[in-house]
Amino acid sequence: MRSAVTVSVLSLAYLQLSAAHVGCNGQELIRRQTVQSEGQSTNPNTECQGYSYAPLEAIQQNYPGSWVTASILPNDTEALALYNKINTEVTAQFPNIQPHGTHNGSFAGVQYNSSDPDCWWTWSNCVTPAASTGLQPDWASVPEPETFGLTFDDGPNCAHNLFYDFLQENNQKATMFYIGSNIYDSPLQGLRGFADGHHICVHTWSHQYMTSFTNEVAFAELYYTRKIITELFGVTPLCWRPPYGDVDNRIRAIAKGLNLTTVMWVNDTADWTLDEPNTNNWPTVDANYQYVIDGASNGMWSEFGPIVLAHELTNMTMTEAMTYYPKIKAAFRHVVPLASAFNVTSPYAEGNVSYPDFKTYTSGQTNQTICQGRCDAVGETTSSSATSATGQMTATTASTHSASVTASAKASSVVVAKTGGAKRSRWLSGGLTIMMAGVCGVIML
């Protein structure tokens, strides 16, 4: 059984892992560098240079290539066996739900029942499947009033050090939805997110519209992202968020088979539009943030709190998040990661990480605890860090609250393609760097 060794460091320099970028023929394209030089760099070109990482090199043949649509790899008998089990259950329960549209989000000509029998979010913003399906409601809002559910999609960004250091300086944790290909490309940046105590969830392998995929591809997009997190971080996530929110009951059932709770949002900052070329969307994004903030004073969040969609996609989205964070803190009673909001004290399948519940987190004790074995075993705790319990995430004290987001009535059963953000930059870049000082790093041996 793999064991976790936790090291408290003043800098990741103590790990002294070498890094290099190697061309297709084995030539070295850039000078070798250490984790120290990468973590301390203030040059985005240096921070986002490629590097070699031995734990990834040892397993990379077991994964789809970077930014390719995932599928079950040849000879991956473990994945195939699990898929066959899940697929049998899904096709028996939802035999009539077919893939919708294209992988890049074109739904032109797609015919769909206007009553939304499949709880297709892209059609109606549905987050509550019918009780008869046996599927749990999506997490779209948090159960605690006047509480901001802090989440960021599309990480790990190779240049996120300044942003993560900002969160660390504010003793703030968030729920991070990581793309498998970004972990594949930037494993150390992903490892920092976990080591900093952020709540890590799945955001698929290639960030495409999930309802467009066959069952096998949808499974692979989730499976290999979950697996690479397990193999590199030592923990298995129990949550996921569909790119663009594109999910229906078929996809939810596949995720359920992988013990992944579906997480949505009640407010979208639309910060991802800041990355679209030849546009100036700052006023719109500012207004979206301000709308959520104003709701804290006008009673909008008196019974529950918003889960808000934001991104670590580029320097612009991360800068916007840092700009509005003080205003969010001032307006809301609490700003919390989703694991704490829902009192999920064991957010990973191994049970070797203990996460602070809502009461503990809001008292100022925000650190996770990593254990040598399961955290529910007496005397196993070895350090302050984080992780989880087997099965889908369930709130231990607070009941799951899903905000019902009502879509405007549709006069036609023809699906209209969503606009704005149907295409995002896959190569996350930006001018953000930071000293990786004071990080509690976890290396899986």
Q: Is 160 noted as a catalytic residue in this protein? A: no
**At a CB cut-off of 8 Å and minimum separation 6, what does 48 contact?**
158, 159, 429
How do strand 4-8 and strand 440-444 relate by DSSP bridges?
A: antiparallel
Q: Are 195 and 161 in contact (CB under 8 A)?
A: no
Q: Are 112 and 407 in contact (CB under 8 A)?
A: no
CA separation for the pair 85, 108 (Å, rounded): 33
Element (H, E) at 153: strand 147-155
Paired tokens of 278: 């030849």
CA separation for the pair 232, 444 (Å, rounded): 7
Q: Which of 118, 138, 153, 154 is catalytic?
A: 153
- 3-class DSSP state of 353: strand
Residue type, 263: V
Q: Are 167 and 174 in contact (CB under 8 A)?
A: yes
Q: Is 311 noted as a catalytic residue in this protein? A: yes
CA separation for the pair 152, 193 (Å, rounded): 11
Q: Which residue from 260, 283, 252, 235 is spatially nearest to 90, judged by alpha carbons?
A: 252
Q: Which of 311, 334, 357, 401 is catalytic?
A: 311
What are the backbone dihedrals phi and psi of residue 154, each rounded to the nearest 5 degrees, phi first? 75, 15
End-to-end CA distance of the chain: 10
- 3-class DSSP state of 262: strand
Tell me the catalytic residues: 153, 311
